[in-house]
Amino acid sequence: MSELRLLTSDDYLAHRQLMSHAFGRGGVVEPPTEPKEPSKETIGILDEGRLCSALTICPFTVYWPGATKGELAMGGIGGVATFAEARGQGHVDRLLCESLVQMREAGQLVSALYPFSMHFYGRYGWGWVGEKYQATLPLRELPASKRLAKRLSDEMAKEHLVEVYSTTASRYRGAFTAGSRNFSGLLDASDKRLTYAYGIEGGYLLWRYPSGEGAGEIREYMATTPEAERALLALLRDLGVQVAQGRLTLPTDTTLFCHAIHNDIELKTEPVFMGRVVDVAAALAALTTPQPDGALTLALTDPHASWNEGVWKIAIEAGSVTATPTTEAAQLSLDIQSFSQAFWGTPGLERLRRAGKVDVWDEAAFTRLAALLPSAPVMCWNHF
């Protein structure tokens, strides 16, 4: 019989070997010279004492406009892996279900992950949320400006990045709060290539030259004012003397293309990641809303988190929200994936209804829920 439990220091080497098998193409893992702990949130399945599958829950705090505190606790799912000979036995199913229990107990109301397969994780209630651009810019075609950003010293860079990032990221659901980010890691040269930090009041960009031919990496680009944006674009234009193109990730509501547009700009639109609501009642209670007092009844299906199943009476009173089980007839119905997408804000409830993802028996109730869960931009600049 297989055993499911949190991993300990005794499992460290076995866990690293599993990670190498799944993500490192079988690279040799040396035993640690001193005892090391796996992440305290790593859950494993052992068969006859041998680790065969694992998953890690990374605790983060993310910005959340519309929440009472402006942020929520989030569980980031990563390191989902199974040895090849142990696949097809339902191990990941057990791990994902257990992760929902663990996240709920930890007060992580929402969850996100970067999937190897959207279809696979969609079966467990995660759905794509948010939209972002992968952009390639022809640098010499960007507009010039007399005002340029300056290179930041190591001492100044982190403080400046935190200030600008916090202003920008707090507009988006799912963006890590500044305290959840490793800014030092953004600036390091662990691969023996420098990361150049350039800043101006209200903006910064992080630039890395390509290791060979190809586009430069604009590791991060933030501008909170038109003046900062023009200055950063002008600096990228000057970097274009050496490198023809630069690649970067942008939210789809970026203002960059209001300042610089060209036929040679290449854009690929893709989801930010997959998101889920872990605890529906607690997540709704974390919101605040300006809409008038009222109530609606919502039927939810969530076969992997029984605490979310059933009909809920969602009441709004003086801006606060509560959700309690009810025997009243449902006015609306969603599965947990569609509810999660609506809660995150992109795709919004209106779009989900047009896609046939919402059953509506009372239009006033739908209008009230759409006002409680308005469309909102989702973005995250971190991987986990």
- Cα–Cα–Cα angle for 148, 236, 158, rounded to 5 degrees: 70
Q: How confident is the model at residue 202 (pLDDT cuts 50, 70, 90)?
A: very high
Output DSSP code: residue 263. T
Q: Which residue has the higher pLDDT, 250 or 1?
A: 250
Residue 153 CB neighbours (<10 A): 10
Domains annotated for the chain, with CATH where assigned, are: 3-108 (3.40.630.30), 143-261 (3.40.630.30), 277-372 (3.30.1050.10)
Q: How confident is the model at residue 35 (pLDDT cuts 50, 70, 90)?
A: confident
- Residue 37: pLDDT over 80: no
pLDDT tens readout for residues 119-157:
999 999 999 999 999 999 999 999 999 888 999 998 889
CB 205 within 8 A of CB 148: no
For the chain, the distance separating the N- and C-terminal CA atoms, rounded to the nearest angstrom, is 31
Cα gap 155→373, rounded to integer Å: 42
Mean pLDDT for all residues in the chain: 95
pLDDT tens readout for residues 223-244:
999 999 999 999 999 999 999 9
Q: Which residues contact 382 (CB under 8 A, 6 or more apart)?
A: 176, 180, 181
Q: Where are the beta strands (DSSP E) in 171-240?
A: 196-200, 203-208, 216-223
pLDDT tens readout for residues 305-328:
999 999 999 999 999 999 999 999
Does the pTM exceed 0.85? Answer: yes
Phi-psi region at 25: left, alpha or beta (left = phi > 0; alpha = psi -120 to 50)? left
At 25 the pLDDT is: 85
- Half-sphere exposure of residue 27, counting CA atoms within 13 Å on the CB side? 7
Residue with tokens 């990496």: 217
At 4 the pLDDT is: 95
Please choose, from the candidates 158, 148, 56, 143, the residue with its C-alpha nearest in 3D space to the C-alpha of residue 102: 56
pLDDT tens readout for residues 331-355:
999 999 999 999 999 999 999 999 9
CB 181 within 8 A of CB 163: no
- Residue 282: pLDDT over 90: yes
pLDDT tens readout for residues 173-197:
999 999 999 888 888 887 888 999 9
